[in-house]
């Protein structure tokens, strides 16, 4: 794969600060390479070393037969934005006062994005993010202004048609200023037989007393690969709430890197995954409590069947002096077949004493007693299993306040 | 024998085993190469097959590099600056306990380990005493032999029971396993060998007491325990070292083989010198301990109380091969001052209906850092495997660190795994309640910490548990106020 | 001649962290053998008084003096005050997981004996003492083996506090809301226990806003405590009067 960002035809070559950043990220990616089985954070989810050679980054004219401009019909009101084959097709207009959404390209042109681009994590920390930084031309810059409450969610739809195997590097920067409030829903889907690799990086800045509700529905094509990083910085009193749903695809990894930087910042990171065949799903999080009185809570539930591979890695880090902090984390997996594998690594890293931290992990099959009880009341075994699986997942979906969104997220299972 | 109490006075430390024993030693020159390995082998009059094994391990070791994945920071060990063999000079190998050098007997007496069989207290424990690189005495051998139990130093076992040693040595921890195990396989000097024949329940606790005395010496001991069908043994291990300003290296291997319906309980109270309050000196403890449950219904239980060492890298593990076999790990680890510990266990479930239980209690104080690191791995064929893990950490003061890194891998649908971890501190309310009833703050901390660890301490044999409880209090001295 | 046990003079104290002043010029003298009751509305800081007397680190004395049996209390650690003979029965006794009640009591008794230059009790002596005391308060040996206060009902916790009172034999017992959460039978056991221990040498300070316990223990003095000091002192009749007419009159008068 051609990673030559020295060339003049690559986007941003004429903007010195951007060019410097891209070159630095490119150099880091070339030096570190793709993560391997020996990379601790990727040991369960490394990809074959030549994987990227299968894909092209060149945008090609696509044949979307007009569907791209049609609005999705969704069970909730929202402002819709659409990417097709990794290119921005449609952006929301007529935004209320205090809300700004612009394409990444425009945002780098007028440098407003500069204080945010690649500022929530360092180059060299996340290999796929470095690749994204070096190459991304597509994406959004979203700013919700001071004390602005955006009622309708921003819905971002990423759709993939068939075509040459494509690596999509999309970079979104989302800024909530002081007291702002918004909901962002990301939805990934594709034509059934599409072959592509989505490499998504969201940098999210939650300002003082701001609130962001973030949902991600990953419903990629069976042959898709999907790597997403949400790098989040939360200021005093800010709240970040995230829910990610993974349907099955060849390979999916959603990683959250959340820094609770000031007092009373909080994060809730929940998720669910359901795998039936031989897909790979990885939900990884690193929640960094960097200030006193910060709070985090996490529940992830998964159901695995067939030869599927589920991975959960969750780190709670409590910095020295981050006293009177609470971090809770729980992962539960239902393993329905002997061919399935679940790897789980919850991790606590604690450098302050006056804290309440806990994590838990469980793993098991459906309860035989419950199944039998239902059967004895006349429910067929298969139905009983489905009921119990749904009940199992309901615990985590029940954490979503908006019932319509919860049902919509669940509908891909 | 001269003690050096002035060391203790100067440093103000509470490590009561910090004295050195002045005894003439037969020490190999510093450095590691094939000639040194041949020298060790020659000193011990070893058969050719063992020397070959050592050399093979050494050649492999040269291709390996020191692991750095643990949350430990320490100065690199200069393996060429160490001596790999030190033995107290005795006129001849003692034929009985009466012939053992009095200086050595005194040393062990001082450590609370009487090597005279008639000592009332030791009536229930048989002891193998290892001083630097060699075993100096093994008690109750005759009595144990009556029931067919072999309890001797590994050097003697090599000569007297070569078929057993050849069959089992390295069968649980192969020399290729890891950097330190490989080093040990090349240079190990002595250690204990236990063989419990079919159907025999050991009539008393067996124990090894390790003492590092000589300066600039690495201690590389090797313990091998084989429990045949339907047998039982409870084995204790204790360790201390003198207080020295430089770091000492300890890299041991313990291998346990357990057959059908047999049970082995292995208890450790690890009290190597932890260094002074500024982190000067102390033992580097890099240990590989592993048990293979090879039979049906076999059971292994590791219990450890870790209070010593400057750096600990240790993961006593169970390979649960036999159906219905059981592995248990009970651990209390206390770190204070500048100590660092990265410790935990591995439970590898291969057989059907295998069960494992992990209870880990970590207490960090001062500027210390402690990590629980564990693996629970359930293979696809391990039908109905069960694991329960609980890791609790207690932090004393705001300058220490406590970390929990469990790895959980499951490939069996009928397996049930539960893992829980919590972190807490001693609450001001608890302290005040104790103080209001007249208990001093330090004693109150000891009491609360002992309560926190109780579940593990109960697994230790009685006399050991009392010692360990005291040790916890000593280790925490100076951690409050 | 009556002997002064506790003498509090013009005491000012508050919360260490916030600096909030709670006790503002309190005077109270308790002589050997006397029983005092401090009554007052909720939130008046009655528990603060018990914590200040026993030296809870969350509170700080900012003025005045507290003397107990010729010792200046402010200079002493909580355990030293306990060993001198001040016992506080807490409103909500703390749970200490893993530490059995029995073991805890042994530590407490021997720590206090050591402080007072008495020989420590060995296991047998201690058990004998404990068993006979436990019997008095309907505390089973099973309960003594349980972890202290962990999973105990409100009544069980209070009975255990009174058992400790009888074992530790303090000179001054402070009962902070010792009657809250007790049914009639348990209240009887508690008051009997207190009365048994209560002799001519021993004094009692009861902090409460209920009458039930006072009727059983019969205080010599009843104090109304409000806004950080004692605003009225009387006898049992004062307590009975409060039951019917409340604190309002006195609070208004004090303003």
pLDDT digits (tens, 9 = 90+) for A23-67: 999 999 999 999 999 999 999 999 998 899 889 887 666 656 556
Residue A339 has pLDDT above 60, yes or no: yes
Q: How many domains does chain B have?
A: 1
Of B67, B70, B66, B68, nearest in space to B374 by CA:
B70
Q: Are B221 and B210 in contact (CB under 8 A)?
A: yes
- Over residues A120-130, the mean pLDDT reads 96
If contacts are CB pairs under 8 Å, which of residues 64-103 in chain C contact chain B?
Answer: 77-79, 81-83, 87-88, 90, 93-94, 96-99, 103
First to last CA, chain C: 36
List helix spans (H) across A97-213.
104-109, 127-135
Residue B286: inside a domain, yes or no? Answer: yes
**What is the spatial distance between Cα B189 and Cα B166, in angstroms, rounded to a whole number?**
16
Residue of B nearest to C113 (CA): B438
**What is the spatial distance between Cα B23 and Cα B21, in angstroms, rounded to a whole number?**
6
**What is the spatial distance between Cα A119 and Cα A136, in angstroms, rounded to a whole number?**
16
Nearby residues of A406 by Cβ (< 8 Å), 6 or more positions away: A397, A398, A400
Q: Any CB–CB contact under 8 A between B462 and chain C? A: no
What is the pLDDT, as a whole number, of residue B94? Answer: 59
Note whether B436 contacts C77, CB cutoff 8 Å.
no
- Over residues A218-247, the mean pLDDT reads 97
Strand order of the sheet with strand C71-72?
A: C21-31, C4-15, C59-68, C71-72
Of A360, A296, A354, A298, nearest in space to A322 by CA:
A354
Q: Any CB–CB contact under 8 A between B405 and chain A? A: yes
**What is the spatial distance between Cα C216 and Cα C191, in angstroms, rounded to a whole number?**
6
Q: Are A232 and A259 in contact (CB under 8 A)?
A: yes
To the nearest whole Å, the CA of A237 is away from the closest chain B CA by: 24
Give residue limits of the domains in chain A. 16-367
Strands A196-206 and A225-234: parallel
What is the pLDDT, as a whole number, of residue C108? Answer: 86
**What is the spatial distance between Cα B116 and Cα C162, in angstroms, rounded to a whole number?**
50
**What is the spatial distance between Cα B45 and Cα B39, in angstroms, rounded to a whole number?**
10
Crossing angle of helices A381-397 and A403-410, in 10° steps, is 130
What is the pLDDT, as a whole number, of residue B2? Answer: 36
What is the pLDDT, as a whole number, of residue A67? Answer: 62
Note whether C168 contacts B435, CB cutoff 8 Å.
no
What is the pLDDT, as a whole number, of residue B12? Answer: 35
Residues of C in contact with B451 (CB under 8 A): 96-99, 147
Over residues A204-227, the pLDDT tens digits come to 999 999 999 999 999 999 999 999
Note whether A353 contacts B396, CB cutoff 8 Å.
yes
**What is the spatial distance between Cα B361 and Cα B459, in angstroms, rounded to a whole number?**
13
What is the pLDDT, as a whole number, of residue C211? Answer: 82
Residue of C nearest to B432 (CA): C56
**What is the spatial distance between Cα A248 and Cα A219, in angstroms, rounded to a whole number?**
7
Q: Any CB–CB contact under 8 A between B69 and chain A? A: yes
Full domain range(s) for residue B197: 5-314
Residues of B in contact with C103 (CB under 8 A): 447
User: What string of DSSP letters covers B18-30?
Assistant: -------EEEPPB
Of C3, C25, C30, nearest in space to C12 by CA:
C25
Residues in chain B: 481
**What is the spatial distance between Cα A216 and Cα C165, in angstroms, rounded to a whole number?**
61
Which of A39, A363, A368 to probe the B interface (max B CBs under 10 A)?
Answer: A363
What is the pLDDT, as a whole number, of residue C201? Answer: 86
Residues of B in contact with C99 (CB under 8 A): 447-448, 450-451, 454
Rg (C-alpha) for chain A, rounded Å, is: 21
Residue B267: inside a domain, yes or no? Answer: yes
What is the pLDDT, as a whole number, of residue B1? Answer: 34
Q: Which residues of chain C have pLDDT under 50?
A: none
Q: Is A121 helix (H, G, I), strand (E, B) or coil?
A: coil
Supply the mean pLDDT for chain A: 91
Note whether B435 contacts C82, CB cutoff 8 Å.
yes
- Over residues A134-151, the mean pLDDT reads 95
Q: Are A204 and A214 in contact (CB under 8 A)?
A: yes
**What domains does chain C contain, in order, with CATH numbers?**
4-254 (3.40.50.300)
User: What string of DSSP letters covers B72-120?
Assistant: ---PPP-GGGSBS-EEE--SS--SSGGGS-HHHHHHHHHTT----TT-S
List helix spans (H) across chain C.
46-54, 78-84, 101-115, 123-136, 141-145, 154-168, 184-197, 212-217, 236-245, 248-254
Q: Are B166 and B49 in contact (CB under 8 A)?
A: yes
Structure tokens at A100: 């700004």
Nearest to B398 among A323, A362, A364 (CB): A323
Structure tokens at B234: 């409870």
Nearest to C111 among B429, B433, B439 (CB): B439
Q: Is B182 helix (H, G, I), strand (E, B) or coil?
A: helix
What is the pTM (predicted TM-score) of this model? 0.84
Nearest to B410 among A321, A346, A363 (CB): A363
- Which residue(s) pair with A69 in the sheet? none
Q: Which residues of chain B have pLDDT under 70?
A: 1-14, 23, 90-100, 104, 108, 110-125, 132-134, 136, 214-216, 241-242, 244, 480-481
Strands B416-425 and C86-89: unpaired
Q: Any CB–CB contact under 8 A between C145 and chain B? A: no
Note whether B433 contacts C97, CB cutoff 8 Å.
no
What is the pLDDT, as a whole number, of residue A6? Answer: 56
Residue B382: inside a domain, yes or no? Answer: no
What is the pLDDT, as a whole number, of residue A94? Answer: 86
**What is the spatial distance between Cα B144 and Cα B197, in angstroms, rounded to a whole number?**
11
User: What string of DSSP letters covers A184-245?
Assistant: EEEEEEE-TT--EEEEEEEEEEE-TT-EEEEEEEE---TT-EEEEEEEEEE-TT-EEEEEEE
CA angle A30, A31, A35 (to 5 degrees): 85
Q: How many CB atoms lie within 10 A of CB A55?
A: 18
Of all residues in chain A, the percent with pLDDT exceeding 90 is 76
Residue B269: inside a domain, yes or no? Answer: yes
Element (H, E) at B434: helix B428-436
Structure tokens at A23: 């070159």
Residue A250 has pLDDT above 90, yes or no: yes
Q: Are B395 and A350 in contact (CB under 8 A)?
A: yes
- Which residue(s) pair with B234 in the sheet? B265
Residues in chain A: 413
Nearby residues of A61 by Cβ (< 8 Å), 6 or more positions away: none
Residues in chain C: 255
Residue of A nearest to B405 (CA): A347
Residue B366: inside a domain, yes or no? Answer: no
How far is C-alpha C113 from the geometric centre of its chain's CA atoms? 20
Q: Any CB–CB contact under 8 A between C208 and chain B? A: no
Q: Any CB–CB contact under 8 A between A356 and chain B? A: yes
Over residues A162-192, the pLDDT tens digits come to 778 899 999 999 999 999 999 999 999 999 8
Residue B137: inside a domain, yes or no? Answer: yes
Q: How many CB atoms lie within 10 A of CB C70?
A: 9
């Amino acid at each position: 794969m051609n990673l030559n960002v020295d060339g003049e035809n690559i986007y941003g070559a004429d903007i010195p600060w951007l060019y410097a950043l891209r070159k630095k990220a490119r150099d880091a990616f070339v030096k570190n390479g793709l993560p391997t089985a020996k990379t601790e954070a990727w040991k369960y989810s490394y990809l074959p070393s030549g994987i990227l050679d299968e894909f092209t980054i060149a945008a090609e004219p696509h044949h979307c037969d007009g569907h791209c401009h049609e609005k999705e019909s969704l069970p909730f009101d929202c402002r819709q934005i659409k990417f097709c084959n990794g290119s921005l097709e449609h952006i929301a207009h007529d935004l209320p006062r205090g809300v700004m959404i612009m394409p990444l390209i425009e945002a780098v042109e007028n440098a407003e994005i500069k204080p945010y681009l690649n500022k929530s994590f360092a180059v060299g920390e996340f290999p796929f993010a470095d690749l994204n930084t070096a190459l991304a031309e597509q994406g959004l810059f979203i700013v919700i202004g001071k004390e602005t409450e955006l009622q309708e969610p921003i819905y971002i739809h990423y759709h993939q048609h068939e075509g040459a195997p494509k690596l999509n590097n999309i970079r979104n920067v989302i800024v909530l200023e002081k007291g702002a409030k918004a909901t962002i829903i990301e939805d990934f889907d594709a034509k059934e037989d599409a072959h592509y690799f989505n490499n998504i990086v969201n940098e999210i800045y939650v300002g003082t007393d701001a609130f962001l509700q973030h949902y991600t529905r990953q419903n990629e094509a069976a042959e898709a690969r999907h790597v997403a990083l949400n790098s989040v910085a939360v200021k005093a009193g800010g709240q970040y709430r995230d829910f990610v749903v993974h349907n099955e695809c060849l390979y999916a990894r959603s990683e959250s890197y959340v820094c609770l930087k000031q007092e009373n910042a909080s994060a809730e990171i929940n998720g669910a995954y359901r795998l039936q065949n031989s897909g790979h799903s990885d939900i990884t999080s690193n929640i960094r409590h960097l200030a006193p009185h910060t709070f985090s809570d996490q529940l992830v539930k998964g159901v695995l069947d067939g030869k599927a591979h589920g991975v959960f890695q969750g780190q709670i880090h409590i910095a020295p002096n981050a006293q009177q902090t609470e971090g809770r984390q729980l992962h539960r997996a239902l393993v329905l077949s002997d061919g399935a594998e679940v790897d789980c690594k919850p991790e606590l890293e604690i450098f302050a004493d006056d804290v309440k931290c806990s994590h838990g992990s469980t793993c098991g099959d459906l309860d035989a007693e419950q199944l039998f009880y239902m059967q004895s009341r006349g429910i067929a075994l298969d139905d009983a299993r489905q009921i119990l699986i749904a009940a199992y997942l309901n615990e985590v979906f029940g954490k979503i306040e908006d019932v319509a969104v919860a049902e919509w997220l669940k509908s891909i299972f | 024998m001269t003690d050096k109490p002035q060391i203790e006075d100067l440093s103000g430390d509470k490590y009561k085993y910090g004295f050195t024993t002045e005894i003439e030693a037969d020490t190999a020159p510093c450095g590691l190469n094939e000639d040194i390995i041949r020298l060790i082998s020659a000193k011990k009059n070893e058969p050719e097959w063992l020397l070959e094994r050592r050399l093979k391990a050494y050649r492999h070791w040269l291709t390996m590099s020191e692991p750095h994945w643990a949350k430990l920071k320490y100065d690199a060990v200069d393996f060429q600056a160490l001596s790999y063999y030190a033995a107290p000079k005795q006129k001849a190998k003692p034929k009985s306990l009466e012939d053992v050098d009095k200086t050595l007997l005194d040393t062990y007496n001082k450590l609370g380990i009487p090597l005279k069989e008639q000592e009332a207290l030791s009536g229930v424990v048989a002891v193998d005493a290892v001083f630097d690189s060699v075993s100096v005495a093994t008690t109750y051998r005759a009595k144990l032999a009556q029931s067919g139990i072999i309890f001797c130093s590994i050097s003697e076992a090599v000569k007297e029971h070569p078929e057993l040693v050849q069959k089992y040595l390295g069968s649980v921890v192969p020399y290729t396993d890891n950097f330190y195990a490989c080093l040990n396989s090349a240079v190990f000097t002595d250690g204990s060998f236990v063989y419990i024949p079919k159907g025999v329940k050991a009539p008393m606790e067996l124990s090894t007491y390790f003492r590092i005395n000589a300066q600039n010496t690495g201690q590389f001991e090797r313990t091998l325990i084989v429990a045949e069908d339907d047998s039982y043994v409870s084995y204790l291990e204790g360790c201390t070292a003198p207080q020295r300003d430089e770091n000492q290296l300890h890299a041991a291997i313990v291998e346990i083989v357990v057959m059908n319906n047999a049970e082995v309980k292995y208890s450790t109270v690890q009290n190597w010198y932890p260094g002074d309050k500024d982190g000067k000196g102390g033992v580097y403890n890099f240990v590989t301990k592993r048990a293979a449950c090879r039979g049906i219904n076999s059971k292994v239980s590791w219990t450890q109380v870790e209070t010593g060492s400057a750096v600990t890298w240790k993961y006593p593990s169970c390979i649960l091969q036999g159906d219905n076999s059981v592995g248990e790990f009970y651990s209390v680890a206390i770190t204070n001052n500048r100590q660092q510990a990265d410790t935990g266990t591995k439970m590898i479930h291969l057989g059907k209906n295998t069960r494992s239980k992990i209870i880990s209690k970590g207490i960090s104080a001062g500027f210390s850092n402690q990590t629980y690191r564990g693996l629970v791995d359930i293979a696809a064929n391990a039908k109905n495997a069960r694991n329960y893990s609980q890791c609790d950490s207690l932090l004393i003061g705001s300058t220490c660190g406590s970390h929990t890194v469990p790895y959980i891998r499951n490939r069996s649908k009928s397996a049930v795994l539960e893992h829980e971890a919590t972190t807490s501190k001693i609450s001001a309310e608890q302290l005040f309640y104790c103080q209001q009833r007249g208990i001093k703050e330090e004693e109150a901390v000891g009491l609360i910490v002992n309560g926190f660890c109780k579940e593990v301490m109960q697994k230790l044999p009685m006399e050991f548990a009392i010692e360990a409880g005291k040790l916890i209090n000593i280790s925490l001295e100076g951690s409050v106020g | 001649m009556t002997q002064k046990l506790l003498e509090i003079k013009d005491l000012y104290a508050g919360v260490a962290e916030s600096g909030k002043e709670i006790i503002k010029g309190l005077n109270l003298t308790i002589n050997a053998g006397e029983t005092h009751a401090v009554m007052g509305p909720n939130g008046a800081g009655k528990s603060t008084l018990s914590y200040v007397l026993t030296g809870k680190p969350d509170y700080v004395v900012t003025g005045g003096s507290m003397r107990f049996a010729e010792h200046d209390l402010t200079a002493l650690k909580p355990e030293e005050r306990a060993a001198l003979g001040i016992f506080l029965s807490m409103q909500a006794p703390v749970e200490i997981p893993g530490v059995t009640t029995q073991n805890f009591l042994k530590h407490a008794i021997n720590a206090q004996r050591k402080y007072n230059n008495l020989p420590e009790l060995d296991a047998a002596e201690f058990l004998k003492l404990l068993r006979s005391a436990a019997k008095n308060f309907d505390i089973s040996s099973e309960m003594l083996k349980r972890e202290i206060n962990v999973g105990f009902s409100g009544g069980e916790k209070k009975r255990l506090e009174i058992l400790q009172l009888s074992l530790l034999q303090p000179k001054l017992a402070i009962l902070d809301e010792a009657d809250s959460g007790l049914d009639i039978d348990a209240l009887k056991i508690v008051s009997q226990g207190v009365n048994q221990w209560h002799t001519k040498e021993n004094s009692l300070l009861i902090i409460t806003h209920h009458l039930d316990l006072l009727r059983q223990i019969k205080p010599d003095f009843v104090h109304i405590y409000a806004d950080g000091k004692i605003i009225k002192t009387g006898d049992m009749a004062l307590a009975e009067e409060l039951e019917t007419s409340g604190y309002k009159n006195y609070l208004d008068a004090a303003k």
